[in-house]
Structure 1
Amino acid sequence: MRKVSLALVLLSGLVLPATASELEIALQLPKISEGQYHRPYVAVWVEDSSEKSVRLIEIWREKPDWIKDLRRFWRKTGRADQPLVDARTGATKGPGQYQLRWDGKDDQGVAVPNGEYQLVIEAAREHGGRQLVKQKFNWDGTAVAVSVAAGNEIGQVQLSRKAP
């Protein structure tokens, strides 16, 4: 009996709905029809108010050699923490809408303190352009609703968080 009860308690933790403590990130990669198209390398991370990297959310890349084209990312995180980069790496993605989330924790899994942070998204394409998007937001339990205009390599970005 005891084992069954413990198993139910453990399983119930796996099906809890998402909480209001997550920042939802809607990221669009635009369709580019000019010239030869290569899928972009994209890095998405959160920095604190002193622009120190707090959490690498995702990086989309194909070959490790070209990650240096994500210049800010490379300087801040890419060259210094290869195991973290490898752990968060996914395949490059084509044009479309992508949903990402940040749970308010740093790369070590520790909840960050309330304060001002910024989401940073960097994209670079072979035979294409580069773009860096930085958007500040407050992480203090209040709602977040921010929309960032589209650019050449990164489409519209929306940040949202519901207040508890």
Structure 2
Amino acid sequence: MRKLSLAHALPVLAATAATAAAGPALAADLNVSVEIPRLSGASYHRPYVAVWIERPDNIAVRTLAVWYQQTANNEGDGKDWLKDMRTWWRRGGRAMTMPADGISSATKAPGRHTVSVAGSRLRDLPAGNYVMVVEAARELGGREVVRVPFRWGGANTARATGSTELGAVSVTVTR
């Protein structure tokens, strides 16, 4: 085995240091803004909503939020209806145990809501192109999926808009 001299080792050390320095830069924060529109109707029910990251090939990477009825009522436990968010359920929701710490919470009223994820929770997410998926399903209502392509690994903002169960959805990656 050949020994490297200090002159040969310095470029290798410099490249390693540059790679290590790039790691924290990728530990950016992620903010997802989700608008739940106010719908008129005699029997309005708040939607169940799931927010997750997928690779461009539709493989789920991480669930960020699930909003559902967390108390039982005369119709049963709210967990029983999570499967109504069919896309999320099939891509990984059925494997999750609810409630999930830091992910699940109660349904939200109409308005704009934000899911903020610290970069430390996503430090193992490689830089690249992803899709933020937001799915909403409502009792006696409809179901809608909004997909927002975004880039992880640099500051950027992407937006899309739903047409029935969801309004504006935006994804912001900050350094």
**Normalising by structure 1, what TM-score?**
0.77
1:159 correspondence with 2:174? no
Structure 1 residues 152 and 89: CA distance shift in structure 2, 3 A = same
| Counterpart pick for 1:122 among 135, 139, 155 | 135
**Alpha-carbon shift at residue 111 of structure 1 (Å):** 2.0
Question: Identical aligned pairs, as a percentage?
Answer: 38
Deviations 1:117-162 (A, max 9, x none): 1100000000001000111111122x21222124210111122224
| Counterpart pick for 2:116 among 101, 109, 113 | 101
**Alpha-carbon shift at residue 105 of structure 1 (Å):** 6.2
After TM superposition, which residue ranges in structure 1, 4 or more long, deviate above 4 angstroms? none
Corresponding residue number in structure 2 for 1:81 = 96
Letter in 2 for 1:44: V
Partner Cα distance (1:80, 1:148) in 2: 28
Contact 2:146 2:161 in 1 (8 A): no
Corresponding residue number in structure 2 for 1:138 = 151
1:58 correspondence with 2:65? yes
| Counterpart pick for 2:83 among 68, 71, 80 | 68
**Unaligned stretches of 5+ residues in structure 2:** 1-25, 70-77
Letter in 1 for 2:131: Q
Aligned residue pair count: 141
Corresponding residue number in structure 2 for 1:9 = none
Structure 1 residues 100 and 34: CA distance shift in structure 2, 3 A = same
Structure ID, larger Rg:
2
Contact 1:104 1:112 in 2 (8 A): no
SS at 1:82's partner residue? coil
Partner Cα distance (1:47, 1:93) in 2: 23
Partner Cα distance (2:133, 2:139) in 1: 20
Contact 1:22 1:161 in 2 (8 A): yes
Q: CA RMSD in A?
A: 2.1
**Alpha-carbon shift at residue 80 of structure 1 (Å):** 1.6
**Normalising by structure 2, what TM-score?**
0.72
